């Protein structure tokens, strides 16, 4: 299906929703339990926050269903109220979930904001910089991110050209995000800082397990060619040492909900027919005629076809989900 079928919300509309919510059903009420209130743009970040914050926080994830597309998501009055009451907001950034920026601006929220994309090694402002010593700088940046939203030239509804915003598929980036969450929670609730730091350390240890699994794939199959219908899993396949052979014009067109140019489609089909593609990975939540054609071509060629999603599958944690994806890669290559 095409993406961005729904218009992005206008700030005035959000404000109206907020007023309606305050005077209406009142379905979102303050917890009254003294816990840190956390709002995450998607359940991916919500689950990570829950793992680090434990019982000391209340988490509201705005997008929790595979049928909800962050690119075209329309916020509700309940979402606006949740943001207005949040102590900490976690967004992906990079143009992926711009509705969060609209909600923050409309509510004039003073919440701390963590933008995951800013922790990516590929983030434009981070290019050429080492990860070493970044933790303090990132924590300080995220603590003042509400100011950055108004000034950041990248804020808005559009993708940043050349940047793959699907950063949750990069375990190393998520390691930094987890540490930032622990730091922000410790600032908001110093009494539970030891718990937050311990939970974050445990989470990071599990991330290291994911990276070890990726290293095993790289050791056995480095350079194996993959074709992705969208750039969703590219961080993960790159970390596994695999080579993305997809024509950029193909994955960009699919992601933007546009028709793939005929010449690009032909190039893609010829690439699959050539035998250089070992795995094809499709986005489980989107599709179209061109993606069906390349999937059919891969199937006819005996190439394994995997599906990766953008939201957290039911019953999974971030760690178990990524481990499942890594095992799927390993199994497909072995097969």
Average pLDDT over residues 310-328: 96
> In the predicted model, is pLDDT for residue 317 greater than 60?
yes
- Choose from 19-23, 67-71, 290-294 the range with maximum mean pLDDT: 290-294
Window from 36-40, 69-73, 96-100 with minimum mean pLDDT: 69-73
Mean pLDDT of the chain: 84
Average pLDDT over residues 265-269: 98
- Buried/exposed 225-241: b ≥16 CB within 10 Å, e otherwise: bbbbbbbbbbbbbbbbb
pLDDT digits (tens, 9 = 90+) for 52-62: 999 999 999 99
> In the predicted model, is pLDDT for residue 95 greater than 70?
yes
Alpha-carbon torsion (283, 284, 287, 291), positive or negative: positive
Q: Cα(168)–Cα(234) distance, rounded to whole angstroms?
A: 11
Banded pLDDT at 128 (limits 50, 70, 90)? low
pLDDT at 8 (0 to 100): 36
pLDDT at 146 (0 to 100): 38
Which of the pair, 143 or 288, is modelled with greater confidence? 288
Q: Tokens at residue 257, please?
A: 């909900």
Alpha-carbon torsion (185, 191, 197, 198), positive or negative: negative
Q: 94: how many CB neighbours lie within 10 A of its CB?
A: 23
Q: 184: how many CB neighbours lie within 10 A of its CB?
A: 28
Going from the C-alpha of 262 to that of each of 29, 259, 266, the distances in angstroms are 52, 9, 6
Q: Tokens at residue 23, please?
A: 């005077």
Going from the C-alpha of 267 to that of each of 249, 250, 259, 277, 278, the distances in angstroms are 10, 9, 15, 13, 16
pLDDT at 67 (0 to 100): 73
pLDDT at 137 (0 to 100): 47
pLDDT digits (tens, 9 = 90+) for 164-197: 999 999 999 999 999 999 999 999 999 999 999 9
pLDDT at 110 (0 to 100): 93
| pTM: predicted TM-score of the whole model, two decimal places | 0.83
pLDDT digits (tens, 9 = 90+) for 133-173: 444 344 444 433 334 433 343 333 356 778 999 999 999 99
> In the predicted model, is pLDDT for residue 309 greater than 60?
yes
Determine what percent of the chain falls in helix, strand and coil, rounding each to the nearest 5: 55, 10, 35
The fraction of the chain above a pLDDT of 90, given in percent, is 71
Banded pLDDT at 32 (limits 50, 70, 90)? low
Which of the pair, 10 or 252, is modelled with greater confidence? 252
């Amino acid at each position: 299906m095409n993406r961005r079928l729904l218009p992005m919300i206008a700030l005035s509309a959000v404000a109206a929703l907020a007023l309606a919510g305050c005077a209406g059903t009142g379905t979102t009420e303050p917890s009254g339990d003294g816990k840190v209130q956390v709002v995450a743009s998607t359940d991916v970040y919500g689950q990570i926050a829950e793992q680090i914050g434990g019982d000391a926080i209340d988490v509201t994830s705005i997008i929790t269903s595979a049928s909800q597309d962050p690119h075209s998501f329309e916020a509700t009055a309940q979402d606006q109220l949740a943001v207005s009451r949040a102590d900490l907001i976690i967004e992906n950034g990079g143009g992926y979930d711009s509705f969060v920026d609209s909600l923050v601006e409309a509510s004039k929220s003073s919440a701390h904001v963590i933008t995951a994309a800013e922790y990516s090694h590929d983030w434009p402002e981070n290019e050429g910089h080492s990860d070493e010593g970044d933790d303090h700088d990132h924590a300080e940046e995220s603590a003042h991110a509400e100011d950055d939203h108004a000034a950041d030239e990248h804020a808005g509804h559009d993708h940043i050209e050349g940047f793959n915003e699907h950063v949750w598929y990069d375990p190393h980036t998520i390691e930094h995000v987890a540490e930032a969450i622990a730091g922000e929670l410790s600032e908001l609730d110093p009494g539970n800082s030891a718990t937050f730091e311990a939970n974050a350390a445990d989470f990071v240890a599990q991330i290291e397990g994911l990276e070890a699994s990726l290293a095993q794939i790289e050791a056995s199959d480095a350079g194996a060619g993959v074709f992705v219908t969208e750039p969703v899993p590219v961080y993960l396949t790159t970390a596994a040492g695999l080579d993305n052979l997809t024509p950029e014009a193909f994955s960009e067109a699919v992601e933007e909900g546009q028709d793939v140019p005929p010449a690009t489609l032909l190039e893609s089909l010829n690439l699959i027919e050539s035998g250089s593609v070992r795995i094809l990975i499709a986005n489980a939540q989107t599709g179209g005629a061109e993606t069906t054609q390349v999937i059919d071509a891969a199937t006819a060629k005996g190439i394994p076809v995997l599906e990766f999603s953008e939201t957290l599958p039911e019953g999974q944690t971030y760690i178990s989900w990524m481990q499942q994806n890594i095992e799927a890669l390993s199994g497909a290559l072995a097969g």
